[in-house]
Structures are given as C-alpha cells and as structure tokens.
Amino acid sequence: MKINKQVLKRLIQEELQDILQEIQGVARPIDDIAAQAGLTEEEMIHLETNLPAYISGKMDIMDDLSFEIFEKLYEYFAFESREMPHGFASADSGDPAEWILYRLSPAEYIRVRKKPPEGLEDEPSL
C-alpha cells in the first residue's frame, strides 16, 4: 500500500493529537493537585518554585519542608486518589518520589531525564 505525503502527514498529526490528549489527561495543574493533597500556600509555592530542581536532581524532595510536601502528595496519590500504581506506592517496582515528580510534570521529567521513572513500564499506564 502506498501512502502519499498528505496522508502520512494527516496520520502523524492524528497520532500526535492522541499523544497530547493522553499527556493532558495525566497532567493536571499543580495548584489543583496541591490543594487536593492539603498543601499549604507556602508549600504550594515551594513545590512550584522547586519542581524543576527536584526533577533535575539539584534538590532532594526528601529534605526538610520538601519531605512534608512529599508526605502529603504521597498520601494523596497512594491512598486518596489512588492514582499511584501499587508497585510504586509499596516501592516494590519503583520509587514513589520519582513517580510523584513524573506525575506532576511528565513533559519536564522526560525532557530532563530522557525516560519515565524506573519501573513505570511494569505498571499499568497512568
């Protein structure tokens, strides 16, 4: 079967649109997630300001105020919304902190780390 350039272009655009919709379905505004997880205004600002540094590894989400934020997000994703796959919640197939960072900003995570968190491929999709 031959495919001309217009058909190929349309197929690629449709596939990209599907991927974007999937990513957008996963990514919710951080403010929305933070509010549902019970973060204070100070914690929300801290999270939004430092998320790129957490993803790049320049800051550790397990430090001081960041750890309190992690605990609230972990509780929210693992037990309230139940979005976190069991293997990550139990740390059997992956690091829950890595899953949270990926969940908060999948595009930035992939841009910096070049791949999803270790163990994500073993879990059902987000």
* pLDDT, tens digit (0-9, with 9 covering 90-100), for 14-62: 877 766 555 555 556 788 888 999 999 999 988 888 889 989 989 888 8
- Residues 6 or more apart whose Cβ sits within 8 Å of residue 43: 34, 65, 68, 69, 72
Tokens of 12: 């690629």
- 46 and 69 in contact (C-beta within 8 Å)? yes
Domain positions in the chain: 29-122
Q: What is the pLDDT of residues 78-112, one digit of tens each?
A: 999 999 999 999 999 889 999 999 888 888 888 88
**DSSP-H helix ranges across the chain:** 5-26, 30-36, 41-56, 64-75, 86-89, 96-104, 106-113
Whether the model pTM is above 0.95? no
